[in-house]
């Protein structure tokens, strides 16, 4: 927020709304505040306000993209006007000037079309990513009301689904927020010493909560490993790989997370049993907005792997991929092990 990211302001307000609802619900549970219609559904109300604030943040992002598009259109018009002025200034240089400016115009128009197409795809994909968790929250909230009227009390199950969907939305929003930050010049990391095993165990729990229909298996290293890095960004990168593995694999299949130290580096691998990637497309999968040919039926933004690579490189590491069509894929992040003092 201090650096001027408007999205961060909405994000903080959204989490504040959810936190207030959670605090009131906790106070009611311990009978510090009386139970009434407001305190009974404080958490749901807080979640509702959170979603509204997330919508404001999304609207801000869409407006920013629209401004970029309008800027490109303005540049194209200025370039076109320059061509007309050159034609008036000198008939002698007419052919060369027209040829040069026409090429520039074509480049700008192509770029404008590319930006427009990316903008449309990006907005549609974001809408899809948000729609599923929002539908779950709306459906579970309605079921709570209906069950309460019928005397059925399974709120814990309903609230668990709501909280899981809320956490999913928060993760998606945080990914896009951090993506904005990392694309700014002079991106900096919050470096700290990280217990790699502990961090991965927490991520496995989170992954299992997000994807209960998959078998998420974890093979820890035979010894404790410490690395230095920004734990928040590394968590987002590895969760991206886990999400991708689940997205492109059949339900009930195994997703394997492994850690293997080698000399002064450690390899963090995420393997799946999914559709795999064609050899000709492996070189481009880390490009922003690139979608492989076998991904056309699977929704996504095409930004996840580019984001993972950016985070890995900012930590001085590298990422590798091994895949065969219909035989699964393995992504491996290599990071330096912290030297012993």
pTM: 0.53
Instruction: Identify the H or E element spanning 324.
Output: none
Classify residue 32 by its DSSP letter: S
d(CA 117, CA 124): 11
d(CA 200, CA 42): 33
Residue 128: the pLDDT is 52
Q: CB neighbours of 299 closer than 8 A, spacing ≥ 6?
A: 125, 128, 129
Alpha helices for 1-41 (secondary structure H): 6-29, 37-40
Residue 269: the pLDDT is 95
d(CA 81, CA 87): 10
Paired with 194 in beta bridges are 227
Locus of tokens 């900096």: 188
Instruction: Please report, for the chain, the start and end positions of each structural domain, with discontinuous segments joined by +.
Output: 6-182, 192-336
Locus of tokens 């906790």: 26
d(CA 321, CA 304): 14
> What is the block-wise mean pLDDT of the chain (341 residues), using blocks of 10 residues?
74 81 83 79 79 78 81 86 74 76 85 68 56 71 77 72 71 62 61 93 86 89 92 86 88 93 93 87 75 56 76 91 89 91 64
Alpha helices for 30-149 (secondary structure H): 37-40, 42-89, 94-149
Residue 146: the pLDDT is 78
d(CA 56, CA 295): 30
Q: Computed from CA positions of residues 307, 312, 313, 314, in that sequence, does the dihedral angle turn out positive or negative?
A: positive
Residue 139: the pLDDT is 75
Give the pair of three-digit tokens for residue 279: 């050899």
Alpha helices for 150-230 (secondary structure H): 155-182, 196-210
| CATH T-level fold of 192-336 | Heat Shock Protein 90 (3.30.565)
Closest CA to 99 of 113, 83, 76, 77: 83
CB 294 within 8 A of CB 255: no
CB 288 within 8 A of CB 302: yes
Locus of tokens 């393997």: 271
Find the distance separating the first CA and the last CA of the chain, reported in whole Å: 36
């Amino acid at each position: 927020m201090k650096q001027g990211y408007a999205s961060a302001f909405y994000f903080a307000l959204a989490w504040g709304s959810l936190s207030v609802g959670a605090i009131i619900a906790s106070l009611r549970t311990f009978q510090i505040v009386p139970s009434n219609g407001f305190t009974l559904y404080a958490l749901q109300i807080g979640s509702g306000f959170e979603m509204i604030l997330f919508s404001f943040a999304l609207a801000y992002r869409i407006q920013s993209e629209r401004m970029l598009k309008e800027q490109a259109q303005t540049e194209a018009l200025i370039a076109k006007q320059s061509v007309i002025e050159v034609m008036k200034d000198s008939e002698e240089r007419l052919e060369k000037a027209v040829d040069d400016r026409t090429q520039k115009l074509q480049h700008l128009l192509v770029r404008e079309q590319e930006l427009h197409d990316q903008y449309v795809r990006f907005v549609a994909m974001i809408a899809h990513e948000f729609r599923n968790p929002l539908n779950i929250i709306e459906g579970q909230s309605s079921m709570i009301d209906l069950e309460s009227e019928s005397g059925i009390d399974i709120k814990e199950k309903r609230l668990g689904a709501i909280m899981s969907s809320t956490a999913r939305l928060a993760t998606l929003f945080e990914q896009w927020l951090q993506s904005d930050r990392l694309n700014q010049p002079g991106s900096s990391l919050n470096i700290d010493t990280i217990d790699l095993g502990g961090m991965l165990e927490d991520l496995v729990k989170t992954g299992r909560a997000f994807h209960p229909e998959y078998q998420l298996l974890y093979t820890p290293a035979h010894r404790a490993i410490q690395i230095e890095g920004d734990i928040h960004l590394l968590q987002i990168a590895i969760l991206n790989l886990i999400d991708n593995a689940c997205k492109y694999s059949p339900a009930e299949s195994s997703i394997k997370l492994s850690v293997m130290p080698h000399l002064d580096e450690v390899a963090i691998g995420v393997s799946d049993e999914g559709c795999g990637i064609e050899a000709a497309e492996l070189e481009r999968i880390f490009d922003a907005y690139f979608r492989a040919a076998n991904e056309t039926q699977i929704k996504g933004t095409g930004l996840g792997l580019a984001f993972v690579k950016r985070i890995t490189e900012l930590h001085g590491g590298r990422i590798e991929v091994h895949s065969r069509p219909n035989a699964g894929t393995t992504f491996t992040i290599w990071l330096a092990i912290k030297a012993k003092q």
